[in-house]
Structures are given as C-alpha cells and as structure tokens.
Amino acid sequence: MTPFLLLGLGMAIVLSLVIWLKVHPFLALIIAATVVSFSTPEKSLKSYAENYTQSQKDRGKMTDSSAKQFKDDFAKVSPMKRVVQEFGGGCAKVGLIIAFAALIGKCMLESGAASKVVMVIISLFGEKRVGLAFLCSGFILAVPVFFDTVFYLLIPIAVAMAHKTGGNYLLYVLCIVAGGTMAHSLVPPTPGPLLVAEEIGVDIGAMMIGGLGIGIFTVTFGYFYAKWASKKFKLSPPDLPDDRLSDEGYMPSTFMSFLPVILPVLLVTGGTLHGIFKLEGFEILKVLGDKNLALGISAMVAFFVLYRSCSGDKERLKNSSSDAFSSGAVIVIITAAGAAFGGVLKQTDIATSIGSIEGSQALALPVCFLITALVRTAQGSATVAMITAAPVAAAFASQDLAFHPVYLALAVGCGSKPIPWMNDSGFWVVTKMSGMQEAQTLKTVTPMMSMMGLFGLIVTVLASLILPFQ
C-alpha cells in the first residue's frame, strides 16, 4: 500500500469505529494504528528510516555509526512493538503535562479561584461590557480547564447577570463559547494543541505564543459576530440557579486565583526566550521553562490555593486530586493513542510522498485545516480531530517550509472548529445548559464557531507570509 492509501485507511477506521460503532476514541485510534503498522510495506519502512536518519545527521543529532545502528534496530522491530513504542513515546511527551493541567483545573474550580477570575474580569469591564468579560473569562479559563467545564462554571453566572442587569443573555452565552472554544484548540496545555505541537516538533512556548496571538484575532471576530447574532436572535435566560460561586467570601485572593493560569505561561515563555536569545547568566529560565516542571509548579500552587480554601480538609483534598487524575487519565490514553497512530503513519514515509507533490508548501496550511475540519464534522470531537490530523501536519513540517511549523499546528487548531452539530458533546452541553433549543444552537453557535475557525485560518496564512519566523 502507498502512504496515502494507508493514511486514508487509518482515518476511515477511526471515523467508522467512532461514528457508527460508538467505539471509544482510545480503542479506535489504537486499532487504526495497529492496522496501519501491519499494513506498512518493508520498502516504506526502509525509506522512512533512511530519510529520518539523514535529516538527523544534517542537524548534527546523529553520527554515521548511530544512524546505521538506528536503521539496524528499526528493521528488527515488529509491527505491534512499533505501535507500543509510539504509544509510550506519546505518554512520555504529554502524560505529566495533562495530569498537572487536570489538577490545576480541578483545584481552581474547587477552591473558587476560577470563579474569582470571572468576577474580577466582570468588575474590570463593568456591567455594560459583561459580554466582553465573559469572552475574556472563557478564553483564560480554557487554557488549564476543558471547555465543557468552563461552560458549566460560567453559565450560572451568565444567567445571574442576565437577571440582575437585564442584559442580553444570548450575547453572554455566545461570548462564553467564543472565548472557551478557541483556547481549547489553540493554547497548550489543553490536550489537542499540546499533542499537535509535540507531533510536529514545535516548542510548547512557541505554541502558547502563537495560540494566544491567533486566539486574540479569532475571539475578537467571535465577539462581533456574537453582538450581531444576539440582536438578530433572542434567548431568554432560564430560572436563576442557586449559585454559591457568586459568593466572593468563598473565593481566594485575586493574585492567587490568577497565578495558576499565568505562571506556566510565563515560565514556559521565559524558557523559550532563553533558547532563542541564549541569555547569559539566566540559565534558571531554561530550567524553569521546562514544560513539565512549569506545569508541576503551577499545579502545586493551585493545590496550595485549594488547601487554604478548605482549611486543610484532607478528605476534600484527596477527593479533588482523585477526580482530577481520573479525568486526566482518560485524556492521557486518548492522546497517547493518537501519538501511536501518528507515529506509525510517519513510518509509512508519508512525509516524502507529500513533499513530492508540486506546490505542497502552498497547500500545507489549507490542507491541514480542511482535514481537521472534515474529521471534526464527521465525528464531533475537536480533540480527536486534531489528534487524527496531526500526522499530516507533521509530514508537512518535515519539508523545507517557508514559514515556522507552528503555523501548521495553528491551522489544525482552527480546523477543529467547523462544524459543530449533534454529534458533538459540546453542542449538547451548550444547548442544554443554556436553555436553547437545538435549532437555536444550530442558528447561532454552529455558524459562529465555523466562521471563527475559517477566520483563524485566514489570519494564520497571512501571519505565515508576513511573519514567517523561518
């Protein structure tokens, strides 16, 4: 089989298992990886090993003897062992980060820090710009917290604000979605952008900076769309819930509430800048900028905030940690399975096949976007769509591009937005929690997210031309 046929086969297996048989994404990705691994011809494996070792030698990371040893060892590896090795490599790359991110998110929710972030932002913007406050809150909180959880947190506050101020409730809902959904797909340590960055070989600091940059443009577009849609369509808020999260006495200080979110961004960015500028005497930035250490420090800070808020209640601390790691574990195995799928696809030497296509560089960003969007529309999950499309982006990244490969990861992130509908769990979370009817969600949320993704692609393409950072 050719690399393209193997790619099509793998994606077909994932989609058919997830959509029609309702198989868990972890199992679907592992099955696809196994089938592709066993179906890859020896010729493709030899070509991959040759091209890989040559690229490593060109970068000074391999000698002739180590390259020869790699090719000899690789030729002896069985198809199933190649799947296992790639799965283990995926766990090594993202396991700790996802576990720490899950702990940060859970601790922020339980301690009231997340609610404090929202209330501070609302107070800064004022009641007349509450929609903008929800937009910013959703974007900030979705960096360490999954989108569904962010929406669960913010929607009661949106309902309360709509009753209190008489403001446009639909505007609040759309702003929460616009902010939360873009950070979910563009800014690590959220699993989707994290795995894509690792698969492509992009520094996590560069991904954070790029994701924040593109995210600002896309959420701005989303905000103006939300303002337009909220005038065209109407939505009444449901009955006011009993919401303890609005009790400011329950919340930690502003500084401690924001610190678990801001700290990893600062530490990782500092490490990235040290790597770029080789700052003498500031080696500590490189040490603290390690993504695992940065997230670990932030997790400890978030845990300390929770410890103080619950006055050292050991049972509550234990339950919060257990819940966080239980949810994180599921994400880790899905992400690692995605890494296994991506790894065996790379071993088909698909990078060479893509590179041989005339004009492939010009098509790289739109193709990455389109493949992700098709998978997202077909099976519903933005994260699974990004994981599935990551190998294609990695194949493009191996070519001599005219721009930094971070743009490939951003194109994949933007491609995970179109088209949310009934097969998307987030669609039902938004619909049921906000009090919308399905038709209302399809008329408002679906086009907004789809157009935000497309606008993000346009901005990404323009940025790659204006600021290639090659």
- Residues 295 and 402: their CA atoms lie apart, in Å, by 32
- Residues 125 and 132: their CA atoms lie apart, in Å, by 7
Q: Is the model's pTM score more than 0.85?
A: no
Long-range contacts of 235-238 (CB under 8 A, 24+ apart): 235/169, 235/170, 235/173, 235/434, 235/435, 235/436, 235/440, 236/169, 236/435, 237/158, 237/159, 237/162, 237/163, 237/169, 237/435, 238/159, 238/434, 238/435
202: left (phi over 0), alpha (psi -120 to 50) or beta: beta
- Residues 370 and 348: their CA atoms lie apart, in Å, by 22
233: left (phi over 0), alpha (psi -120 to 50) or beta: beta
What is the distance between the terminal CA atoms of the chain, rounded to a whole angstrom? 34
Question: Which amino acid appears at position 188 of this protein?
Answer: P
Quote the tokens at residue 348: 């088909």
- Residues 431 and 421: their CA atoms lie apart, in Å, by 10
More confident of the two residues 179 and 470 = 179
In a 3-state reduction of DSSP, which class is residue 26?
Answer: helix
- Residue 346: per-residue pLDDT: 87
Alpha carbon dihedral 334, 340, 341, 344, in 10-degree steps, equals 180
- Residues 284 and 270: their CA atoms lie apart, in Å, by 9
Give tens-digit pLDDT for 353-374.
Answer: 877 775 667 789 999 999 999 9
Q: Is it the case that residue 98 has pLDDT exceeding 50?
A: yes
- With cut-offs at 50, 70 and 90, classify the pLDDT of residue 66: very high
- Residue 351: per-residue pLDDT: 79
- Residues 25 and 32: their CA atoms lie apart, in Å, by 10
Q: Which of 51, 37, 414, 343 is nearest to 199 (CA)?
A: 343
- Residues 117 and 302: their CA atoms lie apart, in Å, by 13
Q: Is it the case that residue 146 has pLDDT exceeding 90?
A: no
Q: Are 139 and 211 in contact (CB under 8 A)?
A: no
- Residue 249: per-residue pLDDT: 54
Give tens-digit pLDDT for 250-279.
Answer: 678 899 999 988 898 888 888 877 777 777
Q: Which of 149, 159, 143, 168 is nearest to 219 (CA)?
A: 143
3-state SS of the chain: helix, strand, coil percent to 5? Answer: 80, 0, 20
3-state SS record for 340-394: HHHHHHHCCCHHHHHHCCCCHHHHHHHHHHHHHHHHHHHHCCHHHHHHHHHHHHH
- Residues 143 and 35: their CA atoms lie apart, in Å, by 34
Rounded to an integer, the average pLDDT of 62-72 is: 92
Alpha carbon dihedral 263, 463, 59, 267, in 10-degree steps, equals -10
Sign (positive/negative) of CA torsion 19, 22, 24, 28?
Answer: negative
Sorted by sequence, the CB contacts under 8 Å of residue 357 that are 6+ apart come out as 363
- Residue 244: per-residue pLDDT: 43
Q: How does the average pLDDT of the chain come out, rounded?
A: 88
- Residues 387 and 412: their CA atoms lie apart, in Å, by 9
| Class of residue 246 by CB neighbours under 10 A (exposed 0-12, middle 13-18, buried 19+) | middle
Give tens-digit pLDDT for 438-470.
Answer: 999 999 999 999 999 999 999 999 999 999 987
Q: Are 350 and 4 in contact (CB under 8 A)?
A: yes
